[in-house]
């Protein structure tokens, strides 16, 4: 299901083009996102004091404008989740174990390798990219999965699983990939001071709040008016909020770092190359694995986007807290969404193009 009024995966013909039945908002999604990125970059570059003003609107290190945008963005998608179906997802080991493998073994290792191979002479950017690789996505991936008609119940489970592992493993993997493994290989080592509470707080705010709101909306709405009313009347009204929240978040995020990005284009290009390879390789590898495991289109798509996406909010926060707001590590974190957003939007359309190649499944996992 898309953020607008597109039909569910069960009713949309798989033989139609990827934009055939999307709402007007969704059909022109790349245009809106490109415009939001440009507006943010120009505002950050040309509006005096804007970045300082936005930085000042923060509580305990969390930017309130970004938090607001993400919460508005995620709520409609999580309100669409049928929480009574989550049990069937958690029992599907073909989905859970591959997701853990891709997110917590392959993803960080791939980013480590790409950072050292492509940025051997730029240690600050290299460290920033490794931090990006450790921060698995718990927010924006829900939007990409929904736009690509993935399994939103599976996405909710995998994002929750990533959240738990993020709290437990982020600091451990940061220590391993920045200090231990480089030492074993005779490479330069880096210390990473990261608080477990900071990670837990990030998870609670950016996933816990919209997840609780979405769950309560469905339970209370269905109890008061019934499922038919909730899904045919309520959800179409709140659905477009996801796109508005996404665009607002992109504008604010790029405005915060507009000057750095526009004044250091060569550095941005150097950072962008390993990110492009990373996103494409993770998405394609996950798609191939899902196909090999005979997962449905919906769950293969969910596996691919949850593996390819990263938690840029956490990566940027950790880089700034450890190395400073003007550090190369922080710039690498900011370039992450600069590359991730357009690449994953493009992969949404690639996914929809691939959809007809999947045989229709009558198993419960493909029933929306």
Query: pLDDT at residue 325 above 90?
Result: no
- 21-30, 149-158, 249-258: which range is least confident on average? 21-30
Q: Which residues contact 169 (CB under 8 A, 6 or more apart)?
A: 104
DSSP of 174-199: HHIIIIIHHHHTT---------HHHH
Q: Which residues contact 324 (CB under 8 A, 6 or more apart)?
A: 330
Q: Residues 99, 306: contact at Cβ < 8 Å?
A: yes
Question: Model's pTM, two decimal places?
Answer: 0.81
Check residue 28 and give its pLDDT. 76
CB atoms closer than 10 angstroms to residue 13: 11
Confidence of residue 16 (pLDDT cuts 50, 70, 90): very low
Segments making up each domain of the chain, as ranges: 63-245+269-354
| Cα separation, 127 vs 184, whole angstroms | 17
pLDDT, averaged across the chain: 84
Check residue 23 and give its pLDDT. 61
- With residues binned 3-state (H G I as helix, E B as strand, rest as coil), the percentages for the chain, rounded to 5, are 75, 0, 20
Check residue 224 and give its pLDDT. 95
| Cα separation, 345 vs 59, whole angstroms | 30
Query: pLDDT at residue 272 above 70?
Result: yes
Q: What is the CATH number of domain 63-245+269-354?
A: 1.20.1530.20
pLDDT tens digit sequence for 30-59: 788 889 888 988 888 788 777 677 777 777
Tokens of 288: 């191939």
Burial code of 19-51, b = ≥16 C-beta within 10 A, e = fewer? eebbbebbbebeebbeebbebbbebbbeeeebb
pLDDT tens digit sequence for 344-361: 989 999 999 989 888 554
């Amino acid at each position: 299901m898309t953020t607008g009024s597109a039909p569910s995966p069960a009713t949309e013909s798989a033989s139609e083009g990827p934009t055939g039945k999307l709402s007007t908002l969704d059909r022109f999604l790349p245009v809106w996102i490109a415009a939001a990125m440009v507006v943010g970059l120009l505002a950050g570059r040309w509006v005096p004091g804007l970045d300082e003003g936005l930085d000042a609107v923060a509580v305990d290190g969390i930017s309130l404008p970004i938090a607001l945008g993400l919460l508005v963005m995620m709520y409609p998608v999580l309100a669409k989740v049928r929480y009574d179906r989550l049990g069937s997802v958690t029992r599907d080991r073909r989905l859970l174990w591959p997701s853990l493998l891709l997110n917590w073994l392959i993803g960080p290792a791939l980013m480590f390798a790409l950072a050292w191979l492509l940025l051997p002479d730029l240690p600050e950017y290299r460290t920033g990219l490794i931090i990006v690789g450790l921060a698995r996505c718990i927010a924006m991936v829900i939007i990409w999965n929904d736009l690509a008609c993935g399994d939103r119940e599976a996405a909710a489970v995998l994002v929750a699983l990533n959240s738990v592992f993020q709290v437990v493993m982020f600091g451990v993997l940061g220590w391993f990939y920045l200090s231990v493994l480089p030492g074993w290989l005779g490479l330069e080592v880096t210390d990473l001071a990261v608080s477990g509470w900071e990670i837990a707080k990030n998870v609670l705010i950016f996933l816990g709040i919209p997840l609780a709101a979405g769950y309560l909306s469905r339970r209370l709405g269905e109890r008061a008016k019934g499922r038919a009313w909730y899904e045919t009347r309520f959800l179409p009204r709140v659905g477009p909020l996801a796109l508005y929240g996404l665009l607002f978040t992109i504008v604010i995020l790029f405005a915060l770092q507009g000057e750095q990005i526009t004044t250091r284009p060569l550095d941005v290009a150097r950072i962008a190359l390993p990110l492009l390879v990373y996103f494409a390789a993770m998405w394609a590898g996950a798609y191939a694995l899902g196909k090999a495991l005979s997962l449905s289109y919906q769950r293969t798509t969910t596996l691919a986007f949850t593996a390819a996406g990263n938690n840029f909010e956490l990566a940027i926060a950790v880089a700034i807290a450890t190395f400073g707001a003007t550090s190369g590590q922080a710039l690498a974190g900011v370039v992450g969404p600069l590359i991730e957003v357009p690449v994953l939007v493009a992969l949404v359309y690639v996914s929809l193009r691939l959809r007809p190649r999947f045989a229709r499944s009558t198993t419960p996992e493909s029933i929306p």
